[in-house]
C-alpha cells in the first residue's frame, strides 16, 4: 500500500472522508486566519515601529458576541453532520449477512453462517451488507478496519455489532485498536473483499460439514436444553398456542421467540434479541418469563462464546428467520 | 557560590540548612521543592518517550520487546499526566505567585501546603517503585478487565501511589480557593484579579471536585484486583464500561486542570509584552469558569466506540463542541490584545506566541474527534495522540516555559540569557511540530496507538516523527542548561524587568521571606499599561 493514501473501500468510507475533508478545510481556514492575524500584528505593531496606532478598541463586546456566535454556529453544523453519519453507521440493515466474531488475547476468530471458520482474517463479499456480531473472551478489544473507516470496541460479556458494505475487492488491514496486553500490536490480520463468484468459491473451499444453525441444534441437545425447552422449528405460528399446548412443560418453548416481545413475570416486556438469549443461558434467574418458575441452572463458564453464537443462531432459526 | 551571596536578603538566603528547606512552610520554598520534583519527573517521562520514538524507527520495532514497549508508554503516561502535567503550573508557578499576586504573605494554610508536597513525593515514589520493580503495562488509563484481572503488573501499588498524589492535588486546590477568597490585598476586588488567578481558581474547583472520583475509581479497581469484588469485571457481575465512565469523569476535566493554568500564564504575558490591557477581560475570565463547569459533562467523548448508547454519544458530542467555544473565545481575545499593541519579542513572548499557534492546532483537531462519525475512524489512532500532545505539550508545556521565563527573574533574582531563551523557544516549536505533525497523517492512515510494531507503509512518517523528537529533546534540554547556568552566572535581575503590572513586581527580586515589606493597596484594574504614546515619550 501507498505510504500517503488510504483506500476507501466501503460505502461508508467516502462519506467519512467528505466530513474529514470539510473539517480539514475549515481548520485550514481558521488556522490561516489565526496565524495570519498573529503574524500581521507582531510584524505591524512591533515595539520598534513607532507609528501612531490610533485608539485601541474600547468596546469589545461586539467582537465577543460576533465571534462567539460564529463559533457556535459552525460547531453546531459540524455536530449535526458527524452525528447523522454516526447514527447511520451503527444501524445495520435487517437483511445483512451475519458473521460472528470472537476476540481473545491475541487473535480474532470469525464464523460464517455456513460454518466456515477463520482466524485473523475475514472474507466478505463485495456489495453486500455484512453485520459482525462481536464479543470477547477476555479483555476489551476493538475491531477496526481503517479502509472502511469503522471500528468498535469488543467487550467481554456483551454483544457489540458493526456493519459495512464493502465496495472494492482487495485485502485490507484489520487492527485491534483497544490496548489489550502484551501482544496488542500483533492482534490483527486482513479483511479480504471478494467478488461474488470468488466469495462463493471461497465458501465452498472452506465449507464446514455443518452450518452454524445445525451446529446450534446439536448443541441444544448436547447441553440438555431440549429436555425442557420445546423447539420444533415451526416458527411464529407455533407461538400462538404455546401456553395451552405446553402447559405441562416446565420451560418456555422457544419456537417463534426470537425477535418478538416476551412478557416477564415482573411485568416488564423485553424483545428477545441476541443479548436476551445470551443472558437467559448464562444468567437464567435474571429475566424469568411470565407464568414460569426459574428451574434452569446457569450455563456460565460451561458454554463457550463460540457455542453461544451457534445456539443463538439456532434459536433465531426457530423464528423462521433465515438463520444466517 | 559567591554570586548567590551577592543577592540581597531574600527567602532563598534566609536560612541555609537542609531542615529549613525540608520543613519550610514558605510557599516560595515549597514551590522550589516542587520545581525540583516535577523537573525530575518531566525528564523521566521524556526519557521513556525518547526510547519509544527510537524503537519506532523500524516497523518491527528497533530496540525493545513488546512487553517493554508497553511498560514504556505506561510509564510515560502515568508520570507525565499525574506527576508533571496535572500539578505542573499550579504547584510551582501557582504556589510561588498566588500569594505574591494577591498581595499576601503566604497561602491560607502553609502547613497543608508542605503536606501536599510530601504526599506528592510519597505518591511519586510508590509509583516509581511499581514502574521499576514490578512493571506496569496497562497504559495510564487502567482499563478493566485488563488491569483488574489479566495483567501481571503491579497495578495495586501504582494505584496507591496515584491515590496519594491525588490528595496532594486536593490540598493544593483547597489552599488556593481559600487563599483567593480570604487573602486578597486591600482593594483587590474579583474583577481586579489577574486572569492567572482566575485560571487557578477554576483549576482548583476541578481539583477539589474531580480528584475524589478518581480516588474512588482507582480504589474500586484495587479492591476488585485484590479481593475479587465484582465492580468492573463482567464475570463477577460487574461492568467494564462503568470503569471507563468513572475514569473519564475525572480524566477529562483533568485535561482542563492541565491547560487552564496555561491559559492564565498566557493571559499575563500577552498584555505585558504588547503593552496593552487584555482584550475582553471579563470574557476571558468567565470562559475559564465555563470551561471548568462544562468539562465535567463531556467525558463520554472518550467512549464513542466503546459501547455506550447512541443517544449518550450524541449528547456528549454536542457538549464537547460546546466546551470548545470558551477556548476559541480566549484565542480571539489574545489576538485582540496584540492588535495595536507595542509588541516586544523577549523569550516569554516567543513561547507565548508559540503556545497560541500550537494550542490552536490542537483545539481545531479536537473538532475532528468531537464529530461522531469522524471520531469512529480517528479514535485510538495516532491522530488522537497528535491532537492531545498539541494541547498538552505544544500548549501546556509551552505555557509552562513561557511562565517560567517570565517569572524567572522574580523567582531567582537573576536574568536568564535572552538569546538562549529565544533559541530555546524556536527549537522547541520546530522540534515539536516535526515530531507530532506526521502523527496526524499516520492516524488518518490508520496507524493504531500503543503498537510496539506496525505495518511497513507507516515507516516514513514514523522516522520523521522520531527525527523531530531528537530536536524536541534537545530543545527541552536547552532551558535545563541555560536556566541552571543563570542561577550562578546570570545577570542580577531588577525588581521589574518587564515593566509589568501585577503586585508580584512591586516587591524585590527575589522577594523577601515575608513577600512585602508592607502590604500594597490596589486601586485599579489589572493590565493597566500606560498609553503607548507616553511610553515612547
**B474's grid cell:** 534537545
Inter-residue contact B518 to B273 (CB < 8 Å)? no
Please state the rounded mean pLDDT for residues B237-251.
93
Contact A178 B380 (CB under 8 A): yes
Which residue in chain B is spatially nearest to A105 when comparing CA positions? B150
Residues A80 and A133 in one domain: no
Domain end: A205, A233, A249, which one? A205
Residues A193 and A263 in one domain: no
Provide the shortest C-alpha distance from residue A48 to chain B (in Å): 8
- Residue by residue, DSSP assigns B148-205 as III--S-HHHHHHHHHHHHHHHHHHHHHHHHHHHH-PPTT--GGGS-HHHHHHHHHHH
Domain end: A187, A205, A223, which one? A205
Contact A4 B445 (CB under 8 A): yes
Domain that holds residue A7: 1-43+60-89
Contact A6 B445 (CB under 8 A): yes
**B459's grid cell:** 515507516
User: What pLDDT is stored for residue B532 in this prediction?
Assistant: 61
Residues A37 and A104 in one domain: no
Q: Which of B411, B406, B399, B416 is nearest to B484 (CA)?
A: B416
- CB atoms under 10 Å from CB of B111, counted, come to 10
> What proportion of chain B, given as a percentage, has pLDDT over 90?
90
Contact A76 B66 (CB under 8 A): no
Residues A85 and A101 in one domain: no
A147-203 residue pLDDT tens: 999 999 999 989 999 999 999 999 999 999 999 999 999 999 999 999 999 999 999
Separation in Å, CA B249 to CA A252, B209, B224, B298: 43, 10, 20, 8
φ/ψ of residue A118, rounded to 5: -145, 155
Residues A166 and A101 in one domain: yes
Inter-residue contact A113 to A98 (CB < 8 Å)? yes
Contact A64 B275 (CB under 8 A): no
**B113's grid cell:** 501546603
A57 contacts in B (CB within 8 Å)?
A: 279, 336, 339-340
φ/ψ of residue A81, rounded to 5: -60, -50
Residues A217 and A301 in one domain: yes
Which residue in chain B is spatially nearest to A13 when comparing CA positions? B377
Torsion sign (Cα): B511, B517, B523, B529? negative
B172: contact with A, CB 8 A cutoff = no
Which residue in chain B is spatially nearest to A37 when comparing CA positions? B335
Indicate whether B487 pLDDT > 70: yes
Indicate whether B30 pLDDT > 50: yes
> Is A53 contained in some domain?
no
Cis status of the peptide bond prior to A106, with omega within 30 of 0: yes
**B517's grid cell:** 515589606
Tell me if residue B141 falls in helix, strand or coil: coil
Q: How many domains does chain A fold into?
A: 3
Entry field: residues in chain A: 324
User: What pLDDT is stored for residue B152 in this prediction?
Assistant: 86
B241 contacts in A (CB within 8 Å)?
A: 155
Model confidence band, residue B6 (pLDDT cutoffs 50, 70, 90): low
Sheet holding A107-111, edge to edge: A117-119, A107-111, A97-104, A129-136, A160-165
Q: Which residue among B356, B365, B455 places its CB closest to the CB of A38?
A: B356
**B385's grid cell:** 495522540
Mean pLDDT in chain B?
Answer: 93
ipTM given for this complex? 0.91
Domain end: A170, A205, A240, which one? A205
Model confidence band, residue B1 (pLDDT cutoffs 50, 70, 90): very low
> Is A323 contained in some domain?
no
- Domain containing residue A118: CATH number: 2.60.40.420
Contact B325 A178 (CB under 8 A): no
Half-sphere exposure of B403 (CA within 13 A, CB side): 26
Inter-residue contact B334 to B356 (CB < 8 Å)? yes
Please state the rounded mean pLDDT for residues B284-290.
94
* CA torsion angle B8 B9 B13 B14 (round to 10): 180
Domains detected in chain B: 3-536 (1.20.210.10)
Contact A19 B371 (CB under 8 A): yes
Provide the shortest C-alpha distance from residue B151 to chain A (in Å): 7
**d(Cα B528, Cα B537) in Å, to the nearest integer?**
17
**d(Cα B383, Cα B439) in Å, to the nearest integer?**
6
User: What pLDDT is stored for residue B60 in this prediction?
Assistant: 93
Provide the shortest C-alpha distance from residue A130 to chain B (in Å): 18
Inter-residue contact B380 to A178 (CB < 8 Å)? yes
Weakly modelled stretches of chain A, pLDDT under 50: 235-247, 322-324
Q: Terminus-to-terminus CA distance in chain B, angstroms? A: 41
> Is A50 contained in some domain?
no
Q: Which of residues 469-508 of B touch A (CB under 8 A)?
A: none
A52 contacts in B (CB within 8 Å)?
A: 533
B382 contacts in A (CB within 8 Å)?
A: none
B380 contacts in A (CB within 8 Å)?
A: 142, 144, 151, 177-178
Contact A184 B450 (CB under 8 A): yes
Q: Which residue among A27, A139, A149 places its CB closest to the CB of B145?
A: A139
Q: When comparing pLDDT for B390 and A300, which is higher? A: B390
Provide the shortest C-alpha distance from residue B115 to chain A (in Å): 36
- Residue by residue, DSSP assigns A177-189 as -S--STTGGG-EE
Inter-residue contact B25 to B111 (CB < 8 Å)? yes
Contact A155 B380 (CB under 8 A): no
Residue found under cell 475524589: B212
B103-131 residue pLDDT tens: 999 999 999 999 999 999 999 999 999 99
Provide the shortest C-alpha distance from residue A36 to chain B (in Å): 10
| B interface test, pick of A77, A178, A189, A302 with most B CB neighbours within 10 Å | A178
**d(Cα B158, Cα B151) in Å, to the nearest integer?**
13
Residues A199 and A257 in one domain: no
User: What pLDDT is stored for residue A234 in this prediction?
Assistant: 55
Sequence-ordered list of residues with C-beta below 8 angstroms from that of A33, at least 6 positions apart, any chain: none
Contact A16 B377 (CB under 8 A): yes
Residues A157 and A220 in one domain: no
> Is A48 contained in some domain?
no
Residues A240 and A166 in one domain: no
Please state the rounded mean pLDDT for residues B379-403.
96
**d(Cα B350, Cα B360) in Å, to the nearest integer?**
15
> Is A52 contained in some domain?
no
B463: contact with A, CB 8 A cutoff = no
B64: contact with A, CB 8 A cutoff = no
Contact B444 A184 (CB under 8 A): no
Q: When comparing pLDDT for B6 and A245, which is higher? A: B6
Inter-residue contact B354 to B287 (CB < 8 Å)? no
**pTM listed for this prediction:** 0.92
**d(Cα B213, Cα B218) in Å, to the nearest integer?**
9
Residues A190 and A256 in one domain: no
> Is A15 contained in some domain?
yes
B534: contact with A, CB 8 A cutoff = no
> Is A29 contained in some domain?
yes
A85 contacts in B (CB within 8 Å)?
A: 372-373
Residues A200 and A101 in one domain: yes
User: What pLDDT is stored for residue A238 in this prediction?
Assistant: 47
Inter-residue contact B474 to B73 (CB < 8 Å)? no
What angle do the packed helices B155-182 and B110-129 form, to 10 degrees? 160
Torsion sign (Cα): A140, A145, A146, A152? negative
A53 contacts in B (CB within 8 Å)?
A: 340-342, 532
User: What pLDDT is stored for residue B14 in this prediction?
Assistant: 81
> Is A49 contained in some domain?
no
Q: Which residue among B325, B376, B449 places its CB closest to the CB of A151?
A: B376
Inter-residue contact B316 to B301 (CB < 8 Å)? yes
Q: Which of A246, A254, A248 is nearest to A315 (CA)?
A: A254
Residues A235 and A179 in one domain: no
- CB atoms under 10 Å from CB of B43, counted, come to 17
Contact B457 A1 (CB under 8 A): yes
| B interface test, pick of A33, A87, A140 with most B CB neighbours within 10 Å | A140
Residue contacts between A and B (CB atoms, under 8 Å): 261
**A18's grid cell:** 467528505
- Domain containing residue A310: CATH number: 1.10.760.10
Amino acid at each position: 500500500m501507498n505510504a500517503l493514501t488510504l483506500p476507501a473501500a466501503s460505502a461508508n468510507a467516502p462519506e467519512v472522508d467528505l466530513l474529514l475533508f470539510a473539517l480539514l478545510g475549515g481548520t485550514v481556514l481558521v488556522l490561516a486566519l489565526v496565524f495570519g492575524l498573529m503574524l500581521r500584528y507582531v510584524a505591524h505593531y512591533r515595539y520598534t515601529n513607532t507609528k501612531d496606532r490610533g485608539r485601541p478598541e474600547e468596546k469589545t463586546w461586539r467582537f465577543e458576541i460576533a465571534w462567539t456566535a460564529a463559533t457556535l454556529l459552525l460547531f453546531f453544523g459540524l455536530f449535526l453532520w458527524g452525528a447523522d453519519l454516526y447514527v447511520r453507521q451503527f444501524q445495520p440493515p435487517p437483511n445483512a449477512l451475519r458473521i460472528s466474531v470472537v476476540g481473545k488475547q491475541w487473535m480474532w476468530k470469525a464464523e460464517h453462517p455456513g460454518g466456515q471458520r477463520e482466524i485473523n482474517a475475514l472474507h466478505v463479499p463485495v456489495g453486500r451488507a455484512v453485520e459482525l456480531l462481536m464479543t470477547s473472551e477476555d479483555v476489551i478489544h476493538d475491531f477496526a478496519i481503517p479502509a472502511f473507516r469503522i471500528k468498535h470496541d469488543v467487550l467481554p460479556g456483551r454483544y457489540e455489532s458493526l456493519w459495512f458494505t464493502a465496495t472494492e475487492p482487495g485485502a485490507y488491514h484489520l487492527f485491534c485498536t483497544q490496548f489489550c496486553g502484551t501482544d496488542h500490536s500483533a492482534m490483527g490480520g486482513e479483511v479480504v473483499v471478494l467478488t461474488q463468484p470468488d466469495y462463493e468459491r471461497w465458501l465452498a473451499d472452506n465449507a464446514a460439514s455443518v452450518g452454524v444453525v445445525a451446529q446450534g441444534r446439536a448443541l441444544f441437545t448436547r447441553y440438555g436444553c431440549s429436555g425442557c425447552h420445546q423447539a420444533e422449528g415451526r416458527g411464529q405460528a407455533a407461538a400462538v398456542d404455546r401456553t395451552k399446548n405446553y402447559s405441562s412443560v416446565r420451560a418456555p418453548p422457544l419456537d417463534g421467540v426470537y425477535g418478538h416481545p416476551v412478557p416477564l413475570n415482573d411485568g416488564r416486556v423485553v424483545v428477545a434479541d441476541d443479548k436476551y438469549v445470551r443472558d437467559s443461558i448464562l444468567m437464567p434467574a435474571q429475566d424469568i418469563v411470565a407464568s414460569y418458575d426459574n428451574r434452569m441452572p446457569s450455563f456460565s463458564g460451561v458454554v463457550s462464546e463460540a457455542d453461544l453464537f451457534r445456539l443463538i443462531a439456532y434459536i433465531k432459526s426457530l423464528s423462521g428467520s433465515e438463520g444466517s | 557560590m559567591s554570586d548567590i551571596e551577592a543577592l540581597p536578603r531574600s527567602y532563598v538566603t534566609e536560612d541555609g540548612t537542609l531542615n529549613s528547606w525540608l520543613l519550610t512552610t514558605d510557599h516560595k520554598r515549597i514551590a522550589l521543592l516542587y520545581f525540583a520534583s516535577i523537573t525530575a519527573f518531566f525528564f523521566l517521562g521524556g526519557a521513556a518517550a525518547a526510547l519509544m520514538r527510537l524503537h519506532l524507527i523500524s516497523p518491527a520495532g528497533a530496540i525493545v520487546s513488546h512487553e517493554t514497549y508497553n511498560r514504556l508508554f505506561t510509564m510515560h503516561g502515568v508520570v507525565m499526566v499525574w506527576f508533571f502535567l496535572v500539578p505542573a503550573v499550579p504547584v510551582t508557578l501557582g504556589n510561588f505567585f498566588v500569594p505574591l499576586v494577591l498581595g499576601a504573605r503566604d497561602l491560607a494554610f502553609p502547613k497543608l501546603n508542605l503536606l501536599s508536597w510530601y504526599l506528592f513525593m510519597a505518591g511519586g515514589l510508590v509509583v516509581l517503585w511499581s514502574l521499576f520493580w514490578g512493571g506496569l503495562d496497562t497504559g495510564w488509563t487502567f482499563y478493566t478487565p485488563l488491569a483488574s484481572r489479566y495483567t501481571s503488573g503491579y497495578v495495586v501499588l501504582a494505584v496507591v501511589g496515584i491515590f496519594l498524589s491525588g490528595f496532594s492535588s486536593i490540598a493544593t486546590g483547597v489552599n488556593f480557593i481559600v487563599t483567593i477568597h480570604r487573602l486578597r490585598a486591600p482593594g483587590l476586588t474579583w474583577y481586579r484579579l489577574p486572569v492567572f488567578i482566575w485560571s487557578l481558581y477554576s483549576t482548583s474547583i476541578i481539583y477539589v471536585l474531580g480528584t475524589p472520583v478518581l480516588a474512588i475509581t482507582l480504589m474500586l479497581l484495587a479492591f476488585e484486583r485484590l479481593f475479587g469484588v465484582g465492580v468492573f469485571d463482567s464475570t463477577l457481575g460487574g461492568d467494564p464500561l462503568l470503569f471507563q465512565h468513572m475514569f473519564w469523569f475525572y480524566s477529562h476535566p483533568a485535561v482542563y486542570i492541565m491547560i487552564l493554568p496555561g491559559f492564565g500564564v498566557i493571559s499575563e504575558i500577552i498584555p505585558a509584552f504588547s503593552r496593552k490591557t487584555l482584550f475582553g477581560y471579563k470574557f476571558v475570565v468567565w470562559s475559564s469558569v465555563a470551561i471548568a463547569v462544562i468539562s465535567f459533562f463531556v467525558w463520554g467523548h472518550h467512549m464513542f466506540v466503546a459501547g455506550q448508547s447512541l443517544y449518550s454519544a450524541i449528547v456528549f458530542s454536542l457538549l464537547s463542541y460546546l466546551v470548545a467555544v470558551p477556548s476559541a473565545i480566549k484565542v480571539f481575545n489574545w489576538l485582540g490584545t496584540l492588535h495595536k499593541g507595542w509588541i516586544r519579542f523577549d523569550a516569554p513572548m516567543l513561547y507565548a506566541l508559540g503556545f497560541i499557534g500550537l494550542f490552536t492546532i490542537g483545539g481545531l483537531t479536537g473538532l475532528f474527534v468531537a464529530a461522531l462519525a469522524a471520531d469512529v475512524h480517528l479514535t485510538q489512532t495516532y491522530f488522537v495522540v497528535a491532537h492531545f500532545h498539541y494541547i498538552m505539550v505544544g500548549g501546556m508545556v509551552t505555557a509552562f516555559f513561557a511562565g517560567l521565563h517570565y517569572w524567572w527573574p522574580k523567582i531567582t533574582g537573576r536574568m536568564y540569557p535572552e538569546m538562549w531563551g529565544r533559541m530555546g523557544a524556536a527549537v522547541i516549536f520546530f522540534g515539536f511540530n516535526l515530531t507530532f505533525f506526521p502523527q496526524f497523517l499516520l492516524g488518518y492512515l490508520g496507524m493504531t496507538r500503543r503498537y510496539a510494531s506496525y505495518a511497513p507503509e507507516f515507516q516514513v512518517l514514523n522516522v520523521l516523527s522520531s527525527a523531530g523528537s531528537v530536536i524536541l529533546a534537545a530543545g527541552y534540554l536547552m532551558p535545563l542548561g541555560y536556566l541552571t547556568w543563570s542561577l550562578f552566572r546570570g545577570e542580577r535581575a531588577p525588581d521589574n524587568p518587564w515593566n509589568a503590572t501585577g503586585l508580584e513586581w512591586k516587591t524585590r527580586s527575589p522577594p523577601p521571606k515575608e513577600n512585602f515589606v508592607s502590604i500594597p493597596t490596589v486601586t485599579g484594574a489589572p493590565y493597566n499599561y500606560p498609553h503607548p504614546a507616553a511610553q515612547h515619550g
